[in-house]
Amino acid sequence: AQSVSQHNHHVILSEAASLELGCNYSYGGTVNLFWYVQYPGQHLQLLLKYFSGDPLVKGIKGFEAEFIKSKFSFNLRKPSVQWSDTAEYFCAVKERNDYKLSFGAGTTVTVRA
Partner 1 sequence: GAVVSQHPSRVICKSGTSVKIECRSLDFQATTMFWYRQFPKQSLMLMATSNEGSKATYEQGVEKDKFLINHASLTLSTLTVTSAHPEDSSFYICSARQGHEQFFGPGTRLTVL
Binding site for partner 1 (CB under 8 A): 9, 32, 36, 42-46, 49, 51, 90, 94, 99-106, 108
- Beta-strand ranges (E) seen in 1-113 are 4-6, 10-14, 19-21, 23-25, 31-38, 45-50, 56-58, 64-68, 73-78, 87-95, 102-103, 107-112
Minimum CB distance to partner 1, residue 70 (Å) = 24
Minimum CB distance to partner 1, residue 44 (Å) = 4
- 10 or 71, CB closer to partner 1? 10
- 18 or 30, CB closer to partner 1? 30
What gap in Å lies between CA 18 and CA 20, rounded to an integer? 7
- 67 or 90, CB closer to partner 1? 90
